[in-house]
Amino acid sequence: MSETLRIGIAGLGTVGAGTLHLLNTHYELIAQRCGRPVLVTAVSARDRRKDRGLNLEAVRWFDDPVALAGDPEIDVVIELIGGADGVAKEVAETALTGGKHVITANKAMIAHHGTDLARRAEESGAVLSYEAAVCGGIPVIKSLREGLAANAISAVYGIMNGTSNFILSQMRDTGREFSEVLQEAQKLGYAEADPSFDVDGYDAAHKLAILAALAFNAEVDYDSLHVEGIREVTSVDIAFAEELGYRIKLLGIAKRVDGKISQRVHPVMVKRNVPIANVEGVNNAVVAEGDFVGSILSEGAGAGAGPTASAVVADLIDIARGIRLPTFAVPASALEAARTAPMAEHEGGYYLRLMCLDRPGVIAGVAAALRDHDISVETLVQRGRGPGGEAVPVVITTHETLESNMRGALAQIEALEAVLEPPRVIRIETF
């Protein structure tokens, strides 16, 4: 058997401890599959005294993770600190510059600095692997980079945040509002005390930026993403969506459009019979559309110690086997400069919910605004009557139109005296 591959882990939080536990549990199995021993020889974390349920007596402890990354007795650095910048980025840069392979679960770092890190890895002959950064235990990176390598990818999209998917699923099943279900998600450990990263779409956006770069041989372009979260989705919208044959999901969607890349994260109404509409709870799911293979859906646990550690160690096994792949499927020098399609150029259907006074002429005013911006109505639903000047919901779905047209119509509708609240808008996606 070949010589031992020596591993240093920077960060012993949930994923770091899970990774070390997996490597200890399957030490013999992994050695057999790699043809060589894989051994953690060094670790670094903020609190040496914390009880992690692990025996760390046989490993060297580094108080400074950057020093660990530069240690000549380590072959592979696993960065599990997190954060786009700061010490995590310094750890990755130090290791790659020194020719050490780097494995990370750090989606923010790859989304913001992936192109530069890929170039650094290429210059030093090292490998930068990040399977665990996107959708936990689902091997979506390996699928795009290897399994679908013979295909031209036209689109990649999916449910990329389990917290938001859990909240929307529970809102539909129970009829409760966002704030109430969010509190439940926090009690269950599915949402952080500050849930902004998840429910405002940023977590999914980081993952989508990575997948888009990989799918389209492009530089990572997080800053051009259009991002919306789910805070404004109400139980009323979810009920209307069901009535109209749709479900509401927070999706990340990347497509090639007229030579540009469209990247967007926002709530979407999808038909109930579409497979991704039936992915529930905290699960993630990603669909890739290839010209020869068609549409491929991968579904599973998108977070947690076990699934994420599984992805980390899968990358480690590839490195131990001697597998060397470009970071984003092609050499960094061949990555295309990002050409992102502006959101105003998006074309699709729309769901509008208006709260209007129930009096003559209101619908005519709304219809005129849509007409003035070349928007065709597909369905119109009005519920009940509003005694005493109370508002009633009016729901409209449209045929495909440009986002810029819809924005103009919304400004005109919102100015109508009889429309009492800003219109609720959810884009309709046809897959």
Would you name the residues annotated as active-site residues?
Answer: 207
- Partnered with residue 155 across adjacent β-strands are 255, 289
> Cα separation of 405 and 349, whole Å?
11
- Partnered with residue 256 across adjacent β-strands are 261
10 Å CB burial of residue 29 (0-12, 13-18, 19+) is exposed
Contact 168, 238 (CB under 8 A): yes
How far from the centroid of its chain's Cα atoms is residue 266's Cα?
A: 11
The DSSP-derived string for 8-74 is EEE--SHHHHHHHHHHHHTHHHHHHHHTS-EEEEEEE-S-TT---S---TTSEEES-HHHHHH-TT-
> Cα separation of 206 and 212, whole Å?
10
DSSP 8-state class, residue 327: T
10 Å CB burial of residue 193 (0-12, 13-18, 19+) is exposed
Dihedral sign, Cα of residue 181, residue 182, residue 186, residue 188: positive
What separation in angstroms does the CA of 205 have from each of 109, 135, 159, 161, 263? Answer: 12, 12, 11, 9, 9
**Locus of tokens 């990247």:** 263
> Cα separation of 276 and 366, whole Å?
33
Question: Of 62, 132, 124, nearest to 93 (Cα)?
Answer: 124
* Residue 76 one-letter amino acid: V
10 Å CB burial of residue 370 (0-12, 13-18, 19+) is buried
Contact 79, 103 (CB under 8 A): yes
- φ, ψ of residue 330 to 5 degrees: the values are -130, 160
